[in-house]
Amino acid sequence: MADAVGTTPAGTMMGATAPAATVTWLAQAAVPRDITLAEWFTDPETWTGSNGIVASLGDTLLLVIAVILFSVLVSVPTAALLAHQRRAELASAWVVNIGRAIPTFAIAGLLVPVSLRAGYGFEPWPIFIALTLLTVPPMYLSTYTAVKQVDPAAVNAARAMGFTEREVLLTVELPLALTVIFTGIRVASVQVVATEPIRAFLGGDGLGRYVRDGIGQNNPTLVLGGAILIAVLAGITAVTFVAIEWLAKPPGVRRLAGGRTERTLSARKQLVET
Amino acid sequence: MVLIGPSGCGKTTTLRMINRLIEPTSGRIEIQGEDVTDLPATDLRRGIGYVIQQVGLFPHRTIEANIATVPRTLGWDRSRIRARVEELVEVVGIDREMLARYPDELSGGQQQRVGVARALAADPPVLLMDEPFGAVDPIVRGRLQDELLELQARVHKTIVLVTHDLDEAIKIADKIVLLNVGGALEQYASPDELLREPANAFVESFVGDDRSMRRLTLATVGDLPYERGPVVPIDTPPADARAVLADQRSEWLGVTDGEAFLGWIEGAEVKDGVHLDDLHRFLPAAQVEPSSTLRNAMEVIMNSRTSVAVINDHGRFCGVVTLERIRAGLDSDLSATPEPAG
Amino acid sequence: MVLATGAANPLLRWSYFVEQWDRIEEAIFQHVQLTLLAVAFGFVISAALAFLGMRYRWTITPITLFAAFLYTIPSVAFFGVLVSYLGLTLLTALIPLTAFTILILVTNILDGFSSVPASVREAADGMGLTPAQRLFTVEVPIAVPYIINGLRIATVTTVGLVTVAAIVGYGGLGRLILDGLRRTFWTPLTIGASLSILLALLFDLLFYALGAWLTPWARRRQAP
């Protein structure tokens, strides 16, 4: 892991002023640095190998999945429960607000020395914690809002029929809120995938490494290749989640939500507003 | 003038053509002799008051600022605007301390009153109202209708009002315009005339089966010709009293002290030699005031044992009213604007 | 903050802070500058798009989809692609930063204007306000809370993204962070990170206060 920090020639980026660096880069533009993009992608070495795309993809997916799972486990049940009990609304709003404001890169950076001192190395804690901090607020908020805005008539009817509070939550509120909850999970997950590449600049690897190395080596092909990989993964994630979201709707709600109920709309509004 | 009719008759469309929120495609609308299309639309509207059902108060401005909207647009100076606002607040019946509040702090009825004040701010000769009282509860609505009538009596504006409520139309209109689906004009008449002589089958079915009963709300007891009835002063000799009873074919004799009505005496009890004052009197169960509507009077009479109601104006006897008299009243034109229910 | 005495590499060496103050100040300035530029440009573009959306209803969906698409592009990828073509220029940083604000701003502006009740619009027309008067004295003030909210979120998000822009050389305080990471020298890292967090929170508070100040009618919530 320490290698990653060492490979970048110190001062290439930071020391040089922007115009000087541009000149340097332009001076090399006429002669392609290494190989073309197509060549890079079709070279099997690119894919396999210890620094290969497959390995990096694996790294990325591992972290991303871990973050998403953890965040879901932390935020969804808590939010659902609190929303059901109509508690902690103001506190929730503030927590979400603060969480949203904090720059992920900064927090991750701050945690690096802490992690090193504690003997954990550059990875995975700083980036894991920072990404979780990024993901939890929107998931929490969308779940809270979704449960809170479930049709009160349905809830009251359930209560009147003798459902316990737990049953109400699990069999009425959650299924009806599921669409919005999933939307929240989707949005947050795509955000994680989109933000994960900063890990490469924090002493880690993952798919972001190509952009990092490309910039460091003044290799636009590498940078572009890396960027494309990252973007494609984000796109695939988004599409996958949309599919899961669609499948997860209970049939009755599927029809309802297909026509966009008032509540789904306003819940979405609140999501975007955050 | 009240525009009324079933859904799709174009009553709201017609109203909005007056201030050109909808442009007329044919025909002419004139205000005080001038074609409304001669002026630029915005200038026209500043000279016409406009009140809608949901009021549409600007939520981001105080009540005072809301009312002052048109005067400000017209460039009035601040002191004049302020004076006008205070004047209007009193006219429409809002507390002065509401002026500094915001619309969402007021109740529905209060908001509607502010809406009217806002419409009247620049003192336009014409006021347009589109179902202004539809969004409030019936009690408040009745009160607002009464206040509108009082307002009209004070400021004498031409008011064009759209409603779907026939009772409202009958209560407040000078003239009713009844439209049918597609904009066809079915009848243009005063409320009483509309009820008394429906122009065609459509109008007849629109006003409903109880139009006579409705007409009774249009006139008051005081509108009827004075009828003294079988009532004599308390010191009348019994013989004369009996003559009155026979003449009017009444079983009951009413007695007054010259001013106030004292009570009813059973006709059979009236004998020579017995002073009327010594006979047992029944206090009148059925009493009305001159301002009571004929409908009230009928209600009162139905509920009492007699078939006559005594008209009592603050203790002063003003005659009697009978069912016969009420029914006879229906034969005449009852177009007088009713006074607000006491 | 741990000031490890005797350790060669504390989290924060105050002497560095003082000596390098000029550089730090410059970083702060660049950070704020980038943020404000991105939000300003983003706002202009978003206002134009919102206007289009209000005028031609059917454009709202494509606009929203496009903005959402822009937002979903991973920041590192976006910076990366642009640096391949534009090199290490201000534009390389500014374009993605601006693009990321658009979704937030357009959505909030549109929400703001659609929050104006139809009855208010009708009353305004009926009273003889010209379309321009109606727009500026009625619709805009009512939309303001949403716009401010949008600006708030956009600004705070951009502060965070500017730190990432350090990878293409224009990152304000992010450069300190990156520098610290590369040299495993913690002081600039701590300074850069904490200051950017503080900056974000400061902007958040500022816009919150601005919003509260501009909307006195939303503060009064008492029924008569």
Closest partner residue to C178 among A101, A107, A201, by Cβ?
A: A201
Residue A154 CA, chain-centre distance (Å), reads 34
Does A35 contact chain C (CB < 8 Å)?
no
Residue B340 pLDDT > 60? no
Model pLDDT, residue A252 = 57
B334 pLDDT band, cuts 50/70/90, is low
- The pTM (predicted TM-score) of the whole model is 0.76
Token pair of B58 as six digits: 């600007």
Length of chain B: 342
Residue A53 lies in a domain: yes
Give Rg (Cα) of chain A: 23
Q: CA-CA distance, A149 to C208, in Å (whole number)?
A: 25
Minimal-distance CA residue of chain B relative to C142: B60
**A255, HSE (Cβ side, Cα atoms, 13 Å):** 2
Residue C156 has pLDDT above 90, yes or no: yes
Instruction: Report which of B311, B60, B215 is spatially closest to residue C219, judged by C-alpha positions.
Output: B60
pLDDT digits (tens, 9 = 90+) for C201-210: 999 999 999 9
Confidence band for C102, pLDDT divided at 50, 70 and 90: very high
User: Closest-CA residue in chain C for A237?
Assistant: C72
Residues of chain C above pLDDT 70, percent: 93
Per-residue pLDDT tens over the stretch A73-119:
999 999 988 888 888 888 888 888 888 889 999 999 999 888 888 88
Q: A171 with A104: CB under 8 angstroms?
A: no
| pLDDT tens digits, one per residue of B132-175 | 888 788 888 888 888 888 888 888 888 999 998 888 888 888 88
Q: Which helix (H) or strand (E) holds B50?
A: strand B48-52
How many Å is the maximal CA-CA distance in chain C? 77
Q: Is the peptide bond before B191 cis (omega within 30 degrees of 0)?
A: no
ipTM field: 0.85
The verdict on C122 touching B (C-beta cutoff 8 Å) is: yes
**Is position A28 within any domain?**
no
- Chain B contact set for C120 (CB, 8 A): 56-59
pLDDT tens string for chain A (274 positions)? 333 333 334 333 333 344 444 333 333 332 235 567 777 777 776 777 777 888 889 989 999 999 999 999 999 999 988 888 888 888 888 888 888 889 999 999 999 888 888 888 888 889 999 999 999 999 999 999 888 888 888 888 888 888 888 888 888 888 888 888 888 899 899 999 999 999 999 888 888 888 888 888 888 888 888 888 899 999 999 899 888 877 766 565 555 544 344 444 444 444 444 4
pLDDT at B123 over 50: yes
Domain annotation covers residue A165: yes
pLDDT value of position C34: 94
Superfamily of domain B2-215, CATH level 4: P-loop containing nucleotide triphosphate hydrolases (3.40.50.300)
pLDDT at B95 over 70: yes
Q: Are B169 and B191 in contact (CB under 8 A)?
A: yes
**For chain B, which residues make up each domain, given as ranges?**
2-215, 221-329
The number of distinct structural domains making up chain A is: 1
For residues B279 and B267, what is the distance between their CA atoms, to the nearest angstrom?
Answer: 10
Average the pLDDT over B199-211 and give the result: 83
Tens-place pLDDT, residues B13-45: 888 888 888 888 877 777 777 787 888 888 888
Residue B97 near chain C (CB below 8 Å): no
State the pLDDT at residue B224.
Answer: 81
Confidence at residue B335, expressed as pLDDT on a 0 to 100 scale = 59
When pLDDT is cut at 50, 70 and 90, the band that residue C5 belongs to is very low
Ordered DSSP codes for A233-269 = HHHHHHHHHHHHHHHHS-HHHHHHHHT--HHHHHHHH
Instruction: State residue A169's pLDDT score.
Output: 81
- Segments forming the whole domain that contains residue A63: 35-273
pLDDT(B87) > 80 = yes
Give contacts of C76 with chain A, Cβ < 8 Å: 197-198, 200, 208, 211, 227, 230
Residue B319 has pLDDT above 90, yes or no: no
* Numbers of helices and strands, H then E, in chain A: 15, 0
Domain of C113 in residue numbering reads as: 20-214
User: What integer is the mean pLDDT of C139-168?
Assistant: 93
pLDDT tens-place string over residues C34-53: 999 999 999 999 999 998 88
A26: which chain C residues are within 8 Å (Cβ-Cβ)?
87
Query: Picking from B127-131, C6-10, C113-117, which range would have the lowest pLDDT averaged per residue?
Result: C6-10
Chain A meets chain C (3+ C-beta pairs below 8 A): yes
B221 contact partners, CB below 8 Å, separation of at least 6: B288, B289, B290, B291, B292, B293, B294, B296, B297, B311, B321
Instruction: Look up residue B143 and give its two tokens.
Output: 């009160």
Question: What is the pLDDT, as a whole number, of residue C28?
Answer: 93
Supply the pLDDT for residue A29.
Answer: 34
Nearest in space to A207 (alpha carbons), one of C193, C80, C69:
C80
Given phi > 0 = left and psi -120 to 50 = alpha, else beta, which region is A202? Answer: alpha
* Closest-CA distance of chain A to residue C134, Å: 25
- C146: pLDDT strictly greater than 90: yes
Looking at residue C220, its pLDDT comes to 57
- Token pair 């390995």 is at which residue? A55
Say whether residue B280 is in contact with chain C using an 8 A CB cutoff.
no
C87 domain-assigned: yes
Q: B122-126, B281-285, B331-335 — which is least confidently predicted?
A: B331-335
| Beta-carbon separation of A14 and C200 below 8 A | no
pLDDT of B194 above 60: yes
Mean pLDDT of B233-243: 84
Mean pLDDT score of chain B, rounded to an integer?
84
Instruction: Please tell me the predicted confidence (pLDDT) of residue A1.
Output: 34
* Beta carbons of C167 and C76 less than 8 angstroms apart: yes
Nearest to A110 among C184, C193, C200 (CB): C193
Among chain C residues, the shortest Cα distance to A12 is held by: C169
Average of per-residue pLDDT across B55-76: 90
Q: What is the pLDDT of residue A26?
A: 35
Taking residues C8-30, report their average pLDDT: 82
For residue C84, list chain A residues with Cβ-Cβ distance below 8 A.
214, 220-221, 223-224, 227
Higher pLDDT, B202 or A233: A233
How many cross-chain Cβ pairs, B to C, lie less than 8 Å apart? 85
Q: Which of C125, C215, C224 sits opposite B21 (nearest CB)?
A: C125
Kindly report the CATH number assigned to the domain that includes residue C163: 1.10.3720.10
Q: Would you call A121 an interface residue with chain C, using a CB distance cutoff of 8 Å?
A: no
Compute the distance between CA of residue B286 and CA of residue B310 in angstroms, rounded to an integer.
6
The rounded distance, in Å, linking the Cα atoms of A175 and A165 is: 15
Percent of chain B with pLDDT over 70: 97
What's the CATH fold of domain B221-329? CBS-domain (3.10.580)
Distance (Å, rounded) from C-alpha C148 to C-alpha B3?
A: 44
